[in-house]
Amino acid sequence: MATVPLEPILHHHHWRETSKSPMESEKHKQSSLNYTWKTRNCLIGNGAKRCNFRPVSSRVMKTTVRASSNSSVAELSLSNTSNSDNVIFHKTFPLQCIEKVEGKILVRLDCGKDEENLQLVVGCNLPGKWILHWGINYVNDIGSDWDQPPVEMRPLGSIPIKEYAIETPLEKSVEKEAGFIYEVKIDFNTRSSISAINFVLRDEETGSWYQHKGSDFKVPLTNISNDDGNTVGTKQDFAIWPGTLGHLSNMLQKSDGGNSKESTQKGNLFYEEYDIVKQSMVDNSMSVCKKRCPEFVNNLLHIETDIPGDVVVHWGVCKDESKKWEIPTGPYPDKTSIFKNKALQTQLQKKEGGCGCSGLFPLDAGIEGFLFVLKVNNNTWVNCMGDDFYIPMSNETNFKKLERMGEENVSKSMKIDSSQDVSTNTDELINEIRHLVIGISSEKKRKTKSKETQENILREIEKLAAEAYSIFRSSIPSFTKKPESESGSESESESKEAEPDLKISSGTGSGFEILCQGFNWESHKSTSWYSELQDKAAELSSLGFTIVWLPPPTESISPQGYMPKDLYNLNSRYGNIEELKALVNKFHEVGIRALGDAVINHRCAHSQNQNGVWNIFGGRLDWDDSAVVGDDPHFQGRGNKSSGDNFHAAPNIDHSQEFVRKDLKEWLCWLRKEIGYDGWRLDFVRGFWGGYVKDYMDASEPYFAVGEYWDSLNYTYGEMDYNQDSHRQRIVDWINATNGTAGAFDVTTKGILHSALERCEYWRLSDSKGKPPGVVGWWPSRAVTFIENHDTGSTQGHWRFPGGKEMQGYAYILTHPGTPSVFYDHIFSHYNSQISTLISIRNRNKIHCRSMVEISKAEGDVYAAIIDEKIAMKIGPGHFEPQQSGPHNWCLAAEGNDYKVWEAL
């Protein structure tokens, strides 16, 4: 099924840049750069995340609306607003803006002191803390890996990185007339066996990496007949990769296809210049002041900002708490026009000296609030953390509350920034960040496609996260002991070690989680499932499970719980609310966390509307048809269009409505407090935008969360395609939209395992990069791997795993990264002991969601891999034995029908 996308947060656009910096030689071909800037979590982005008047890139009506002559806004001077006696409200909003500075990178090969010695010069004319990350190739080298240069070739200040790269800081140039204020010089002898110097440039201030044509710069030092397309002096195609600590961005810069010319400067063997654009976040602010102004209008709003350039305010008012945009009656400020009959747009007036701009907005009585967003330079939307700016107008208490909320948010962000500084300033972490770069800089054959670039960025972020997480774990105790009793002796329960009460709100758990689905499609028939499962809690804990996924708890039209009606009624076919509380408490006692199955895509109605359509809701959340999406023909909703695919069996909830999101956040927080749930399994998340999930996760702060993003894999003429990148990309895009606050079930991995095992095509288990081919190969910490659940297996059997091969599937997911999920029916079956053994091996060797996989074999009848150099495994009828020579000896730890697992001794 095709998805119906929500209007995107970021309206991506292309800027065309040309160099403005004076250069040493104007004879060189100027390469212009086209790039796409993508940003997340910035107050300024290339598009409004949610704005009720729906700003789009289409043409707008140019109707000019002028103020009435008897109450000209022009008569109101800015100085009048400074009278503190009449000021009701004043608040300053911090903003961030993207600043672009154009410059060049220089690559020059100079003659040295004699014919045998040459000098390579790499320079940059932009201010910054520039680092050259470089290595060499020797003559007759096979492959594209770097080697470290000899010691005599390394400039002062160079730092070795692992075994195959050097980092050298650029120093200020004494040749200032050349225009390159930073440079590094590398001397080398032409009689050496070095064939090429490879490098990339990094700006430590922004964390950005600058490459040539999507790969390393390559300077040939000998006559090389086979040019791989990356050598300096050919087409100038340039890429910027933001650092792993920065925003998750993807900026590709492509040249106009021209070739640089050689410099005629005496002594230069060649001279190349490459246009670059350095991007950085600049702090800006906006102040909003409300003042009583009875002479002209009831209230006067003053907006002022230091954002440079043209700033237009898209604004409207609301007359009740729904925050629905309306166009107010006049008078209006000068330079105001109507935008699609839904809002007004007013250009702010430039301040004297060009330092920012400001505007005055007269407002009549009877207005509940003032809504607005900004548009900068006609291409960048500015909103308030993803929502419209909202200034309450009717109650001074609201102003004080808003100010307090702002102070709390600032305080919270300052704490977060402080903790980040502590971690990023750790020497060990800094070194590991440097190590991550090598994986990027050595991929010379990678094509500069946006999808592949995003893939690599995600991989590098995963590596960084793994290192950061290991530092975090090493800095805290794993368990704390309860104090001894007064008598000096401890009971059995008191002597147990318990995990510390850590606040982890990322939704990804500790990284060592093993999930159990605690029900199947027929569990509701028990009518006392909660009690039956409570009796199995101790056994599940002993097997090694750390999280259990419980069935939907709410009243439901369908007995399984997936057609919810009254969300606050927790008396379901599985048991009542008290039995549910007892079950969750029991799991907590044995060290297992509990996930609630939250069905928030759709909801069954209590009554019909005037047309006989079931779209009116009752219970505590007594919504009307405005809570239903407007594009589902079955339920006649009055809401906005769906932000995903419609589930046609029940009314689809319109999550763009603020009252809906508010109610759902309160419900999730109530479940956390009342029931004790530790997180969520989110049903049918294809039905609504992942950004709403982020909102819900931020509010409820789950320990662990996973979404069911079910999508069909790619097939050609009935045969599953080998390349499933587009499938896993869609899942990754959804996770990305949640800002990583929730993971997703790795449907890609399940589907590929089906074909690999069923057709004896184990070569499918390695993608074109030699990585696991599912989501686990791209974003393992957010991938929840599984082979069966209540939909695919059980009595439904919609997509049943190949019969008799289930343990091969578990041998794969329980030894690999990601968070493995085991189906209830398999736990309590003849597979019990084999699953228990695999879980023990995983826990014993501390395999976690970010563990590293080295695929040893992926052939027709066998797949084999080594994980974290601690576990070796193979599945399939083919032969594989890990090599006993080398740093490890291997001992067989588990085996079964066509699978084996070894542990390193």
Query: 627 is written with which tokens?
Result: 């809570």
Of 272, 708, 806, 898, catalytic: 708
The CA-atom distances, in angstroms, between 518 and each of 400, 839, 905 are: 47, 17, 35
Encoding tokens for residue 905? 């001794």
375 sits in which H/E element: strand 369-376
d(CA 766, CA 860): 12
Instruction: Report yes or no: 682 and 709 within 8 Å, Cβ to Cβ.
Output: no
Question: What six digits make up the tokens of 702?
Answer: 């789950």
> What are the residues whose beta carbons fall under 8 Å from the beta carbon of 351, sequence distance 6 or more?
304, 357, 358
User: Residue 346 in contact with residue 336, Cβ under 8 Å?
Assistant: yes
Tokens in use for 679? 């997180």
User: What DSSP character marks residue 254?
Assistant: B
Q: What are phi and psi of 689, to 5 degrees?
A: -60, 140
Q: Is 647 exposed, middle or buried (0-12, 13-18, 19+ CB in 10 A)?
A: buried
Distance of CA 723 to the CA centre of its chain: 23
* The one-letter amino acid at 518: G
Long-range contacts of 844-848 (CB under 8 A, 24+ apart): 844/903, 845/870, 845/871, 845/903, 845/904, 846/512, 846/870, 847/815, 847/816, 847/817, 847/871, 848/510, 848/511, 848/512, 848/817
Tokens 């060649």 belong to residue: 270
The DSSP H or E segment spanning 608 is strand 607-608
Q: Residue 519: name the closest of 297, 825, 900, 737 by CA.
A: 825
User: Which candidate, 368, 270, 365, 386, places its Cα nearest to that of 317?
Assistant: 368
> Does residue 708 carry a catalytic annotation?
yes
Helix (H, G, I), strand (E, B) or coil at 610: coil
Give the closest residue to 517 by CA, choosing from 117, 808, 151, 792.
792
Backbone angles phi, psi at 528, to 5 degrees: -140, 40
Single out the residue of 246, 174, 163, 233 nearest to residue 205, CA to CA. Answer: 246
| CB-based burial, 64-78: b 16+ in 10 Å, e otherwise | ebebeeeeebeebee
Concerning whether 746 is annotated as a catalytic residue, the answer is no
CA distance 841 to 848: 12
> According to the 3-state scheme, what is the secondary structure of 820-881?
EEEEHHHHCCCCHHHHHHHHHHHHHCCCCCCCCEEEEEECCCCEEEEECCCEEEEECCCCCC
CB neighbour class for 103 (10 Å; exposed up to 12, middle 13-18, buried from 19): buried
- CA 234 – CA 249 distance, rounded (Å): 27
Query: Looking up tokens 């309206």, which residue turns up?
Result: 11
**Cα separation of 745 and 574, whole Å?**
24
Among the options 388, 683, 767, 806, which is catalytic? 683
**CA 304 and chain centroid, separation:** 32
Please provide residue 414's backbone torsions phi and psi, each rounded to the nearest 5 degrees: -65, -40
Cβ contacts of 748 within 8 Å, gap of 6 or more: 713, 724, 727, 728, 731, 773, 774, 775
- Annotated catalytic residues are 683, 708
